[in-house]
Structure 1
Amino acid sequence: MKEILTIFDDLLTPIGEKERQQVHIEGEWHETFQCWFFEQQNDQTYIYFQKRAKDKSAFPSLYDITAAGHIEAGERKEAAGLREIQEELGIQVSEQDLEYTGFYKEELTLQGMIDREICHIYLYEYSLDTPFVIGDEVEDVVKVSLDDFLSVLSKKHSDMPAASILTGEEKLIVKKDLVPHDFYYYQRVIQSVQKLTPFI
């Protein structure tokens, strides 16, 4: 079944509907749900990344938003989000637990594709009591200190320690391991998490 998306003009006015693949080929603006999981532990704040599966067509094996996906035509943002979280991470989340932080317009260019997204960004405070059961699109889930993430983005450090939630393995992640969202997108996410966490 083809995925049909609402498309928008540059002023974010809806102008029609198209199949997902065509939307990317033609570079049309469309909506996505993006949810970043975070956790407070021992006076530290952590943020969670999913490692995209190695067979993904876009950004294989890179670290990205905890859970994300397209919002289909006529679908509520939160309904799309709950579906994506369940499919990718195997976790049932209540809509009331999602904190909406607004939207961000982002453009990413890949070979044969222009991805223009109206990113609806949500936050979810995660508890380790709820285990991840990852789907086929996800290879791993890791957590990193928000301070370490900011240090890498600001180029104070070249890498950041990360711990796999699935295996406990510890590793170092460098900036080129991340999906290349622009700096201001990542800054927006960090600032939104900081507003919800008292330890920073």
Structure 2
Amino acid sequence: MDGITRQYMYGSTPWMVGKILLQQRSKNKDVFPLLWDVSVAGHIGAGENIKISAVREIEEEIGLSIQPVALQKIGIYKSEHKHSDTLIDCEYHHTFIAELKIPLHALQKQESEVESFKLISIDQFKNEITEVLKNNYVPHETAYYNTICTEIMKRLHQ
């Protein structure tokens, strides 16, 4: 099984409070092209510290430098997905959340990974992953997404 880091960035400043940053995967990706997904995700390098991997991926994919202490781990989730007979992903997702403290226009997307960004309210996100728009997102269990939303809301109300 591969190790993956998944980072969800959420707004905590007045103009973004209660919103979650999503990325649309590049049209050139082998799996799930053009679907919306977590703010940032990537493979953990051999022998690499998990938080350092997460920080590296954030900087690579959205051009944001953060300190490892800014990441709040919310769990490890097992994921298996069969894309084809020759491509099966079996991964452990080390999942973090962190505050996004800069405006959307200040982010710099990695063209090979990211097609676009959007900030949407957590309520809208929860509706989209359970309704008709669900097919616009990388498939994950609804319970997984609900856990992410719950953890973000907890942080916002502390």
Does TM, normalized by the shorter one, top 0.5? yes
Matched with 1:186 is 145
1:79-130 deviations in Å (ceiling 9; x for gaps): 1111111111111111111111121111122123111111100001101357
Determine whether 1:123 maps to 2:97: yes
Say whether residues 1:32 and 2:4 are aligned partners. Answer: yes
Task: State the distance in 2 between where 1:175 and 1:43 align.
Answer: 23
Aligned-pair Cα RMSD in Å:
1.9
Write the distance in 2 (CA, Å) between the matches of 1:129 and 1:94: 18
Q: Which has the larger share of helix?
A: 2
Partner deviation per Cα, 1:24-55 (whole Å, 9 max, x = no partner): xxxxx221111000013469511111111101
* Structure that is richer in strand per residue: 1
Aligned residue pairs, count: 154
> Post-superposition, which runs of at least 4 consecutive aligned residues in structure 1 deviate over 6 A?
none
Asked whether 1:176 is paired with 2:148, we answer no
How far does residue 140 in structure 1 lie from its aligned partner after superposition?
Answer: 0.8
Larger radius of gyration: 1
Kindly state the Cα deviation for residue 187 of structure 1 after the two structures are TM-superposed. Answer: 1.7
Q: 1:182 to 1:128 in 2, by over 3 A?
A: same
Larger relative CO (CA 8 A, sep 6+): 1 or 2? 2
Q: What percentage of aligned pairs have identical amino acids?
A: 29
Counterpart among 93, 114, 130 of residue 88 in structure 2: 114
1:149 partnered with 2:125? yes
Q: Secondary structure at the match of 2:18?
A: strand
CA–CA separation in structure 2 for the residues paired with 1:129 and 1:49: 13
Determine the C-alpha separation between the residues in 2 that align with 1:56 and 1:152: 22
- Normalising by structure 2, what TM-score? 0.89
Query: Structure 2: where are the runs of 5+ without partners?
Result: none
Identify unmatched segments of 5+ residues in structure 1. Answer: 1-28, 159-173
Q: Give me the TM-score of the superposition, normalised by structure 1.
A: 0.71
Cross-structure match for 1:47: 20
